[in-house]
Structure 1
Amino acid sequence: MTWGAFALVFISVSLSALGQTAFKVGVGGTSTAPDANFWVKTLGMVFSPMVLLGLALYGVGTVFWLFALRQLDLSLAYPFVAMSFVMVAGSGMFFLGEPVQPTRLLGLGLIIIGLLVMARGG
């Protein structure tokens, strides 16, 4: 994998992870009033500024992904989407105060090891 292609994958996956974080923040700030009906709750979530930001980040990330796919085999590029699991978990722990559990850290470490093996073989 060339550094340029890796950079495209990394940017794409990073933007997707940021999008997930924006989604979480966006839906956390919406009304959960028990008297609000399904459509009011849904529209409140969809039009939350942070949810819209998350969608925009996904869109831009997709453009970077398309450029990455022009340079890489799909079977090599796609497993690197697993980096988003590591990035989203880190974002949740560091920025959203989610708990750090040893089993979660072990799983993230295994993902990183798997990605390193893939990168060396690609």
Structure 2
Amino acid sequence: MNPLHIGLILLNTLMLVSGQFLWKFGLSRKADPFESLQSIIHLMFSPFILGGLFIYGLATVLWLFILNKVDISIAYPMQSIAYLITVIGAYYIFNEQMSLLKIAGCVVILIGVGMIGLSARYS
């Protein structure tokens, strides 16, 4: 697979994770963001929520370009790297727990993504 395409898939994945982190951060700043319609509307106009939506929009445009250049059977599974980045980021940014099972799951995902990447190289 073209190294540029791999880089674009990784960039797209980082954008998606960044959007999720912005949403999580925006939600964590509100005591009860879903207590009323007014609080939901207020939440939707939070800079963090809007920023996450904007990044997701850009990521979608990039994803359409990627799908035009790369087989979806390769590109989409490679995005599962997002799970690894999210688990690690959640640990460091949001102080979420890290367990042996989470680490083992990340290793399994990494092995699977590596196998899919190799299949693209040898097919």
TM-score, normalised with respect to structure 2: 0.90
Tell me if structure 2 keeps the 8 A contact 1:14–1:84: yes
Q: Which residue is equivalent to 1:4?
A: 4
Q: Which residue is equivalent to 1:97?
A: 95
- State how 1:1-122 maps to structure 2 within 5 Å: 1-32=1-32, 37-122=35-120
Q: Alpha-carbon deviation of 1:76?
A: 1.2
Q: Alpha-carbon deviation of 1:59?
A: 1.1
Structure 2 gaps, min length 5: none
Deviations 1:86-106 (A, max 9, x none): 111111011111111110111
- Distance in 1 (CA, whole Å) between partners of 2:35 and 2:3 is 50
Q: Alpha-carbon deviation of 1:74?
A: 1.1
Q: Where in structure 1 do 4 or more consecutive aligned residues deviate above 2 Å?
A: none
Q: Alpha-carbon deviation of 1:56?
A: 1.0
Q: Alpha-carbon deviation of 1:44?
A: 2.4
Identity over aligned residues, as a percent? 25
Amino acid across the alignment from 2:7: A
- Distance in 1 (CA, whole Å) between partners of 2:65 and 2:58 is 11
Aligned residues: 120
